[in-house]
Amino acid sequence: MPHRYRCSARAARGPATVSTAVVTTGSLNARAIPDPYAGQILTTVSLGTVHVVVGKTSGEPLWVQINLPGGGTGWINAGYANVTNLSLVPVTYNNSGQPQPGGYVSGYVVNVYFLNVRTAPNPFVNNVITMIARNQTFQVVGKTSGEPLWIEIILPSGVRGWVNSDYTVVSNMAAVPVTYNNSGQQQTGVTGTVVNCYFLNVRSTPNPFIQNVLAVIARNQTFPVVGKNSTGTWYQINVNGVIGWVNGDFLYVSNPGALPVTF
């Protein structure tokens, strides 16, 4: 039965136990991967600052993956931090340099000086979000079903998009799920129709407070819906090959329960 997103109250929950890292040195590098020689420095974190820990290496030397103040995640050497509740933290990178199955898959740019990051795996439309430089690292979260092979990545800044895999090295391509087929539409079978407004912005991320508008769609237009955010308040849609996000208050979605969480 068609369903339109509606706001609903959520029951209050008690605070969850989390792992944190308190920096114990003056200035500590946070890197894209847990490697002091190959890991790109994303930022530095200061003495006494506290960070939520979301991952760890499988063995020694122990590194932990933390949420960075400006968004995204980075790796710090645990020898320079006091880490609480480490047993609660999942292993997201093993110390051979290959991610654990189902865990963090990384990649980096090769063969070109700059590589376009796009909203969809299509080089023939105007859908460039940003550019990344040679040797820059990123997280790999998806891939196309066949050739030409594109990969869906998340940059340290939190930007999510697609790059041509010919210009990358990926640590464990076999562990990357297919999130887009090469017919140009992701496979969910779910559609969404614009309601409650005359025009609706389609954005590169589910955030209305930054300059990230990719397109504008009109009332009563219908598009394939390919994903949703973790709270179910925004939907990811395919607008003629451009993948973007719209506020769920203005979209009538046929079957939101069938959608994968993609942000």
- In CATH, 105-180 is 2.30.30.40: yes
**Tens digits of per-residue pLDDT, 184-194?**
445 567 889 99
First to last CA, the chain: 25
Structural domain boundaries of the chain? 20-93, 105-180, 190-258
Annotate 126-193 with three-state secondary structure.
CCEEEEEECCCEEEEEEEECCCCCEEEEECCCCCEEEEEHHHEEECCHHHCCEEECCCCCCCCCEEEE
Class level of CATH domain 20-93: mainly beta
**Tens digits of per-residue pLDDT, 158-186?**
677 889 999 998 888 888 887 776 554 45
Q: What is the pTM of this model?
A: 0.39
Token pair 């963090």 is at which residue? 104
Pick the CATH number of 190-258 from 3.40.50.300, 1.10.3210.10, 2.40.100.20, 2.30.30.40: 2.30.30.40
